[in-house]
Chain A
Amino acid sequence: MAGSTEPETAGYPTGNLRLQQGRTLGIQVGALAVFVLVWWAGALVTPQNLLPQPPAVLEVLVADVASGRVFELIWQSLRHYVPGLLVGSAFGMAVGILVGWSRTAELSVGTVAGILRPVPPLAWIPFAIIWFGLNDQGAAFIIAIVAFWINYYNAESGVRSVDDQLLEVGQSLGTKSDLGLIRRIVLPSAMPELFTGFRTAAGQAWMVMVAAELLGVPGIGKHLWDAANFLQMQVVIAYMLVIGILFLLSDRLIKLVEARTLAWR
């Protein structure tokens, strides 16, 4: 069982801990430096249009940050990333909780879900186009599908792993309705899994976002694709890095909220 151990050592970082943190940071920075050096060395013996050198990429980034182009593209992408992620996650959690809670829902909705689940999200692109068009809604739809499934499965397993005894205690203390039990016991109990699902979905959504934009919805992915058509590989790499940074930022942000919310663990 998680959380059953009782370490009494939490407190301020000791000298030893600081040393540990310094070492961790050192290894991380070192690894990044080695990565850039290997890339650079490879690029020196490769034509510029196949693998650009780091300074060329840096030049693109500096110029686009200065002109505000980067932020414009991020904003365009966020316009379908955020709604797609939120709507898909909300539906996924709701359906997952229902299926995890009710045997009838498991047999009915769960069976249908079992058939639809293996469909690759990008296979929905034709429907995205004819239902919504090549616009933010269409891209959001694809992102929502990815977010839906990840949240659905995490929510379902989170609800299933709720300790029966906690539900019995809740009933004995006066919580009668299913809705009451779900709200007061199942949801808080499954919160760690819900967070894991949302965080995983937020990461996957960046990846599928690039794919969805390749169709022609404005944003980072479309920009990246356009640059590739003109063999401007330094631009491609620059925006690959931008996506990587966005991924890390969103992941950190969600982890931060998670740590605050789940302080009881």
Chain B
Amino acid sequence: MNSHSSVDRSESTHEPNSRDYPQIHVDDVSKTYQSESGPVEALTDVSFDVNHGEFVSIVGPSGSGKSTVFRIIAGLEAATDGSVLVDGDPVSEPGPDRGMVFQDDALFPWRTVAGNVSYGLEEVGPPEGYTTDERVDYCLELVGLEDKADAYPKELSGGQRQRVGIARALAVDPPILLMDEPFGSVDARTKASLHQELLDIWAQTEKTICFVTHDIEEAVYLSDRIVVFSGAPGTVLDIVSVDLARPRDRTGDSFTEIKAHVLSYFEDEES
């Protein structure tokens, strides 16, 4: 498996159209839902960019529309106004260039772990330099679940299921990984180790990651930048850069300072 260096792969399969474009460009996106009691505004004029290879988190209180913006980037919903461009092209539907990881793992329960990981490969074929089996092995190795290949999802713990979800999304080698509160329902200890694993995978695969969470500490620990969302209707309050070397010390002064800064937006809002 040593012959497949991740650098070779990223060059051969997802060479961007042009580095002039940000990987994800969210441009003045608004979203209004029609409900029985009239239109409900979920997003108002949301704009931000995610650059190639960048780890960007979207944080906000529940109901702040951060999941809505996730769904619009994913192509699962259309914006009422504005547009989302991925590598310069407008998003209109979900596609294998944007791998998705959900909070409640959303694994196919009738497929084994290996079967889940190979799903996308069966549709679009393995990335160059791999057979399907090699790619499945590689991705399971990446998340440390080689020995669970033949298990069904019901036999796994919550943390293991999330790892399978990540491996499944990575299998087709998408340049982008979209994650919607992926660690929202795992216990604190598992969460901490998943954080480290995700950062390792990110470093190794050079993906662009867009990560939705309501956990500010998680966002500060993981991200290059944090997009801070307000409550309904969702607007971008601030974009905070986290210029701390990794691995980060969750108890360090600058860490807690940034955390407090992000938190301050929500304290204002609630009062």
Residues in A lying within 8 Å of B, measured CB to CB: 3-4, 6, 163, 165-166, 168-175, 180, 184-185, 188-189, 191, 262-265
Q: For A180, A189, A264, A265, which residue has the most chain B Cβ atoms within 10 angstroms?
A: A264
Whether A168 pairs with B76 at a CB distance below 8 angstroms is yes
Instruction: Select which of A4, A6, A173, A265 is within 8 A of B119 by beta carbon.
Output: A173
Within 8 A of A (CB), among B30-74: 74
Instruction: Closest B residue to A192 by CB, please name it.
Output: B110
Alpha-carbon gap, A140 to B168, bound state (A): 47
Q: For A6, A168, A169, A184, which residue has the most chain B Cβ atoms within 10 angstroms?
A: A169
Q: How many CB-defined contacts (below 8 Å) exist between A and B? A: 69
SS of B interface (majority): loop
Instruction: Select which of A168, A174, A191, A263 is within 8 A of B123 by beta carbon.
Output: A174
Q: List 19 A-B contacts (CB under 8 A).
A: A4-B154, A6-B154, A6-B157, A165-B106, A169-B100, A169-B106, A171-B76, A172-B96, A172-B98, A172-B169, A173-B96, A173-B123, A174-B96, A174-B123, A188-B108, A188-B110, A264-B109, A264-B154, A265-B154
Query: Given that A6-B155, A6-B157 are contacting pairs, would A173 and B120 also be in contact in the complex, using a CB cutoff of 8 Å?
Result: yes
Q: Does B94 contact A (CB under 8 A)?
A: yes
Query: Chain A residues with Cβ under 8 A from B100's Cβ?
Result: 168-169, 172
Size of the chain B interface, CB-CB below 8 angstroms? 30
Whether B172 pairs with A174 at a CB distance below 8 angstroms is yes
Query: Chain A residues with Cβ under 8 A from B102's Cβ?
Result: 165, 169
Query: Chain A residues with Cβ under 8 A from B109's Cβ?
Result: 3, 264-265
Whether B104 pairs with A165 at a CB distance below 8 angstroms is yes
Interface 1/0 per residue, B72-104 and A, CB below 8 Å: 001110000000000000000111101110101
Alpha-carbon gap, A264 to B100, bound state (A): 23
Interchain residue pairs A-B with the least CB separation, the first 9: A174-B123, A173-B120, A172-B94, A171-B94, A165-B106, A174-B124, A188-B110, A264-B152, A264-B110
Whether B157 pairs with A170 at a CB distance below 8 angstroms is no
Query: Chain A residues with Cβ under 8 A from B110's Cβ?
Result: 188-189, 191, 262, 264
Query: Chain A residues with Cβ under 8 A from B111's Cβ?
Result: 188, 264
Whether B157 pairs with A173 at a CB distance below 8 angstroms is no
**Chain B nearest CB, measured from A177 CB (Å):** 11
Whether B106 pairs with A172 at a CB distance below 8 angstroms is no
Instruction: Closest A residue to B152 by CB, please name it.
Output: A264
